[in-house]
Amino acid sequence: MTKKLPSIISKISPALALLAVVLIWAAATGFSLVPSFMLPTPRAVARAFIGDFPTLMRHASVTLTEAFLGLLLGVLLAFLLATLMDRFPTLYKALYPLLVITQTVPTIAVAPLLVLWMGFGMAPKITLVVITTFFPIAVSLLDGYRSADPDAVSLLRSMGAGRVKIFLYIKFPSALGSFFAGLKVSASYAVVGAVIAEWLGGFEGLGVYMTRVQKAYAFDKMFSVILFITLISLLLMWGVTGVKALAMPWERKEKEKKK
Amino acid sequence: MLISPDTALLEAHSISKSFGENAVLRDVDFTLKKGELVCLLGVSGAGKTTLFNILSGLMLPDSGQVLLNGVDITGHPGKISYMLQKDLLLPYRTVIDNVALPLMIHGVPKARAREKAASYFQRFGLQGTEKKYPKQLSGGMRQRAALLRTYLASDGVALLDEPFSALDTITKSAMHAWYLDIMREIDLTTLFITHDMDEAIKLSDRICILSGRPGNIICEIPITVPRPRPQDFLLTQEFLDYKRKIAENLTV
């Protein structure tokens, strides 16, 4: 019994912290410490969220399509490049600095160029998502490949395994853990990347909708969009965790044993 | 070459290896007969692991040859099996898939490889662990699984680098008895490295002492006590005589 209480507290503490933030927000707006045109009350945001829900969903379907396609392409590209870079050390040396540079170029600065080059359709958005998601995955895959136990590689070589089999049996499975860590980060980047690209021009999508409500000074709607994007990102990250549990059943077994 | 070639299973002929300026092995000659259990003893840095890497084909010697059944296998891994110091069971594969791995690498289809591996589980005391992951096994079981995998990696010659060193004394002693049994049963020839003199005397048919810089096999001590060796063999004068003889030869 004495042991249970702290564990309950530790479980609900994040919820309590969230509640505290909402309460402070409600107090600040409710007692007019902050004018309501600058910061709407939680209730107004909730009302806007419910009222706007069909519109939000319609725009979200566009944004999510862009995010998913971008993420998919980003993962494929990262996988291809990381695998080649791991195989050929010269390529690794040549491309690694370039990889870091693609990450330090600010997304917001590139987005207008992409719109100029590719127009107002989905192409520039998907491209931007690819640019932002590609790096964390490529780097985590590279680190993962390198984390493979050299003794395990020797063991497989002593069994007569060639490069391909060493990759399949040792390198790739060793990299899975850090791959999913990278994917989790990238999944949240993907949505944000798509939204930022939509700000700069387009016909549909959560980013386009955001700029519209912003220009109308509809702050309650603005906040409800932000809330919605946060929820989508969270859901995506949970999704990645779920896929990871399916793809790496041995990790689950270890936890079960510890219990 | 005192032994006639028809009884020699694994032969090393004047193996030499240097790393840069540092000569590790010079003209090492060595023969392993079928069914033998031979121990390679030597101080750290005497080149035991280098010799194993060369015998297993992972490393090319500067000069010399490795023959298996008279066929040159120098620099050709996959012919004899090599168990490294750690058990190296892959954490992301189930026990059965770990054990069947060498078969899969040799191109046996997955289902057949699993089937063949499973047929040994009973004999290796691993029944019921097929679908588990290595982390869920005890130290002794992991070691037996690694030994079964080593056995399946070749047709009967195993190089073991300190196979029992990570186990506690009681498990180790049980593993010794078990290994001697299984070795006879499955017709395995073993060359193993150890730092433990007692272990070497208890298990081996013959002890080869690798010493000097560059390393060479300076003497071979046959252990003539018949098997199974009694439990109190470790307390006999004979045992101590062997131990003294080894200690005299094991100089840095």
Residue A259: is its pLDDT beyond 60?
A: no
* Domain spans of chain B, in order of start: 1-80+158-252, 87-153
Residue B185: is its pLDDT beyond 90?
A: no
Pairing of strands B206-211, B189-194: unpaired
Beta bridge partners of B13: B65
pLDDT of residue B5: 45
Give yes or no for a contact between A144 and A177, defined as CB atoms under 8 angstroms apart.
Answer: yes
pLDDT of residue A180: 94
Q: Which of B92, B99, B101, B135 to mutate to test the interface with A (most CBs of A within 10 A)?
A: B92
pLDDT, averaged across chain A:
88
pLDDT of residue B164: 86
b vs e for A220-238, b when ≥16 Cβ sit within 10 Å of the residue's Cβ? Answer: bbbbbbebbbeebbeebbe
A152 to B90: CB separation less than 8 angstroms, yes or no? yes
CA neighbor of A209 nearest in space, from A51, A52, A25 = A52
Q: What is the third-level CATH fold of A53-139+175-252?
A: MetI-like fold (1.10.3720)
Nearest to B136 among A152, A160, A257 (CB): A257
Q: What number is the average pLDDT over the span A69-91? A: 94
Q: What number is the average pLDDT over the span B69-83? A: 88
pLDDT of residue B229: 82
Q: What number is the average pLDDT over the span A121-135? A: 90
Q: Is the dihedral of CA B53, B57, B63, B69 positive or negative?
A: positive
pLDDT of residue B2: 46
Residue B1: is its pLDDT beyond 50?
A: no
Q: What is the pLDDT of residues A144-158, one digit of tens each?
A: 999 999 999 999 999
- Indicate the pLDDT class of residue A91, thresholds 50, 70 and 90: very high
Query: Among residues of chain A, what percentage have pLDDT more than 90?
Result: 47
Q: How many CA atoms lie within 13 A of A221 on its CB side?
A: 19
Q: Which of A87-96, B89-98, B138-147, B222-231 has the lowest mean pLDDT?
A: B222-231
Q: Which residues of B touch A159 (CB under 8 A)?
A: 77-78, 81, 101-102, 105-106, 153
* Domain spans of chain A, in order of start: 53-139+175-252
Tokens of A43: 């209730």
ipTM (interface predicted TM) = 0.84
Query: To the nearest whole angstrom, how far is the Cα of A166 from the nearest Cα of chain B?
Result: 9
pLDDT of residue B149: 92
Q: What is the pLDDT of residues A141-191, one digit of tens each?
A: 999 999 999 999 999 999 988 899 999 999 999 999 999 999 998 998 899
CATH number of B1-80+158-252: 3.40.50.300
List Cβ neighbours of B149 (8 Å cut-off, separation of 6 or more): B89, B98, B99, B101, B102
Residue A114: is its pLDDT beyond 70?
A: yes
Query: To the nearest whole angstrom, how far is the Cα of B86 from the nearest Cα of chain A?
Result: 9
Query: Among residues of chain B, what percentage have pLDDT more than 90?
Result: 23
pLDDT, averaged across chain B:
87
pLDDT of residue A255: 58
Does residue B136 sit at the A interface (CB-CB below 8 Å)? Answer: yes
CA distance A11 to A16: 10
CA neighbor of A155 nearest in space, from A143, A145, A141, A169 = A169
Nearest to A250 among B77, B102, B133 (CB): B133
Tokens of B165: 């060193």
CA distance A157 to B77: 7
Q: What is the pLDDT of residues B14-24, one digit of tens each?
A: 889 888 888 88
